[in-house]
């Protein structure tokens, strides 16, 4: 058995899955070969590490509490009293209602302003121009254009 054979069989040897005949040959090689003995020790250490560590690292004690405390919730250890929770819930609900009403009021205000603006434009007051019948110059101008139109038609 040479070194590469031993390397191939080491894991089976350590797991106790090697036939007795092979075990004897392997152990004889190990007695003579420093490199394979080193390799064996390395594999043993590795196996020890793997078998000793949990598949999932455990969470330290009171990890959640400490994290929450560090995050700025100083009173995390004390569970909030029912009254406190009620107060929080009430204030949240109030805030929500105020927000809804406020936004609804804002929408209504915008709608009213838009309607008022439209009415202003329709009334011809948007550009601050006087109504034509109130302005002698405009009346004169319109009368001219009416005359011209009549002239074209004839």
- Residue 3 interacts with Zn ion (CB under 5 A): yes or no: yes
Site string for Zn ion, 15-54 (x = CB under 5 A): ------------------x--x------------------
- Per the listing, tokens 């152990």 go with 27
Closest distance to Zn ion from the beta carbon of 31 (Å): 10
- Per the listing, tokens 């036939």 go with 19
Contacts of 68 (CB under 8 A, 6+ apart): 76
29 vs 69 by CB, closer to Zn ion = 29
Q: Cβ(36)–Cβ(7) under 8 Å?
A: yes
5 vs 69 by CB, closer to Zn ion = 5
- Residue 10 interacts with Zn ion (CB under 5 A): yes or no: no
Contacts of 7 (CB under 8 A, 6+ apart): 36, 39
Q: Go through the chain and tell me how many residues it has.
A: 154
- Residue 68 interacts with Zn ion (CB under 5 A): yes or no: no
Name the site residues for Zn ion (rule: CB under 5 A).
Answer: 3, 33, 36
């Amino acid at each position: 058995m040479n070194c590469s054979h031993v390397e191939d069989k080491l894991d089976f040897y350590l797991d106790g899955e090697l036939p007795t005949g092979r075990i004897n040959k392997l152990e004889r090689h190990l007695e003579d070969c420093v490199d394979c003995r080193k390799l064996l020790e390395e594999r043993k250490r590795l196996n020890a590490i793997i078998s000793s560590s949990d598949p999932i690292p455990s969470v330290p004690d009171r990890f959640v509490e400490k994290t929450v405390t560090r995050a700025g919730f100083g009173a995390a250890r004390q569970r909030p009293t029912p009254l406190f929770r009620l107060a929080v819930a009430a204030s949240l609900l109030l805030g929500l209602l105020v927000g809804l009403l406020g936004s609804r009021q804002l929408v209504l205000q915008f709608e009213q302003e838009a309607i008022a603006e439209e009415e202003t434009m329709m009334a011809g007051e948007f550009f601050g121009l006087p109504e034509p019948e109130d302005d002698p110059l405009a009346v004169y101008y319109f009368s001219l254009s009416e005359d011209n139109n009549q002239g074209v038609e004839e």
